[in-house]
Amino acid sequence: MNKLKAIYHSIHYTRIVFIPGILLVLLLSACSNKMKDIDALTGKANLKEDVAYNVTIIYSEHGKAKVRITAKEFVRNDYAKPPFTDMRKDIKMEFYDDSLQLESTLTAKYARFYEERKTVLIRDNIVINTKKQETIKTEELIWNQNVKKIYTEKPVTIITPTQTMYGDALDAEEDFSMYQIKNLRGSMKVEKGEIPE
């Protein structure tokens, strides 16, 4: 009988150690993650960017508002070289004169602001509407705040109430009150007496 009890205890002890051991091995193997997946959730890449939604920024000089910028998504990355802020989705920039009168409005899909350089790269489906009832369209602009100029080497289209013109580049004041078009072409309406003889 003692022998039978010893066999029973041996089997019971083996079962107590063996079953939890198998469960532990199964549990540990089920929880294995790739480091790439873990980094995607908690890695440093996520800590480098600050994201904000539906943001408005007012850019002013000498206490006067010059530009009002809105976007659905702002992403700030201070760790990039150079640091930048991405403005994504429904970007709108309103440019004001010294009397706070709206000079022009710019819309685009994307812009990247390099604060240290004071430069903004604007891209994708850019439409500028001026107070002179002109519409300027292009795919890329660079706004250099240091010299208060906006320019592009990409093709541009200028639409006025009476004509449509095309050019190969644009150089403008930052509020689009004045601009020059390189290689301007298109048909223009000219009133009688405006043509030099």
| CB contact at 8 A, 172 and 178 | yes
| CB contact at 8 A, 91 and 107 | yes
**Candidate from 21-25, 97-101, 111-115, 123-127 with smallest mean pLDDT:** 21-25
| CA distances in angstroms from 1 to 7, 9, 15, 98, 132, listed in the order given | 10, 12, 21, 106, 109
- Which amino acid belongs to residue 73? E
Average pLDDT over residues 180-189: 84
Confidence of residue 14 (pLDDT cuts 50, 70, 90): very low
Q: What is the pLDDT of residues 42-97, one digit of tens each?
A: 455 455 778 889 989 888 888 888 889 999 998 998 888 888 988 888 899 998 88
Q: What pLDDT does residue 8 have?
A: 46
Q: What pLDDT does residue 147 have?
A: 92
81-87, Cβ contacts within 8 angstroms, sequence gap of 24 or more: 82/114, 82/116, 82/117, 83/114, 83/115, 83/116, 84/112, 84/113, 84/114, 84/115, 85/112, 85/113, 85/115, 86/110, 86/111, 86/112, 86/113, 87/111, 87/112, 87/113
Percent of the chain with pLDDT over 90: 31
- Please determine, for residue 15, whether its predicted confidence score (pLDDT) is greater than 50: no
Phi, psi of 14 (to 5 degrees): -60, -40
Q: What pLDDT does residue 27 have?
A: 52
Compute CA 169 distance to the chain's CA centroid, rounded to the nearest angstrom.
23
Compute CA 186 distance to the chain's CA centroid, rounded to the nearest angstrom.
33
The domain limits of the chain are: 2-32, 42-187
Average pLDDT over residues 151-158: 94
Percent of the chain with pLDDT over 70: 72
The whole-angstrom separation of Cα 82 and Cα 121 is: 13
For the record, the structure tokens of 22 come out as 């198998």
Global confidence as pTM: 0.69
- Please determine, for residue 28, whether its predicted confidence score (pLDDT) is greater than 50: yes
Query: In sequence order, what are the beta bridge partners of 7?
Result: none
The whole-angstrom separation of Cα 194 and Cα 196 is: 6
DSSP string over 175-197: TSSSEEEET-EEE----TT-S--
The whole-angstrom separation of Cα 187 and Cα 162 is: 10
The DSSP letter of residue 98 is T
Multiple choice CATH, 42-187, 1.10.10.410, 2.60.450.10, 2.60.410.10, 2.60.120.580 = 2.60.450.10
